[in-house]
Amino acid sequence: MVVVIRMKRTGRTNRPCYKISVSDSRFKRDGRTVDDLGLYDPISLKKDNQVKFDVERAKSWILRGAQPSDTVRSIFKRAGIYGEPGVSTVKEPRDRSGRKKTTKTKERRAARNERVAAAKVARPKVARKAKPDAKKAKK
């Protein structure tokens, strides 16, 4: 039996609320649970009310081998179950120095845009004829 920690959807239409629960992987998403750990309310205006769960029980289930889903794992990381609370692994910024150089494609596009702009300026403007009203034509 593989035990998973997943989110059970509750709430109403267009107003989701999730229960963080422990269940057997064979059970349905909103089916039977072994244990309820807490709540996750993504629409709550107060950040304090968005996530509420028992950290000690969550740690004990993870130590027993329960596999959290990706979303639950990210919530647990923010709460500090996998280390320091609120610490995220910050990646070093990538080297993007080569992005600003002019390439052949950029040169071709710039030349084409210049040709199109010049052709629009050189084109004489033709006055359009006014269409006769359909009501007057029938009478």
Q: Is residue 131 in some structural domain?
A: no
Residue 32 has pLDDT above 70, yes or no: yes
Q: Is residue 118 in some structural domain?
A: no
pLDDT confidence band for 136 (50 / 70 / 90) = low
Structural domain that includes position 34: 3-79
Q: Is residue 97 in some structural domain?
A: no
Number of domains the chain is built from: 1
CATH at residue 10: 3.30.1320.10
Q: Is residue 7 in some structural domain?
A: yes
Which of 44-53, 65-74, 121-130 tops mean pLDDT? 65-74
Residue 102 has pLDDT above 80, yes or no: no
Residue 88 has pLDDT above 70, yes or no: no
Beta strands (DSSP E) in the chain are 3-12, 15-24, 35-40, 51-53, 67-68
* pTM, to two decimals: 0.57
Per DSSP, helices labelled H in 55-103 are 55-63, 70-79
Q: Is residue 108 in some structural domain?
A: no
Distance CA(82)–CA(85), nearest Å, equals 8
With a CB cutoff of 8 Å and minimum separation 6, the contacts of 73 are 82
Is beta strand 67-68 parallel, antiparallel or unpaired with respect to 3-12? parallel
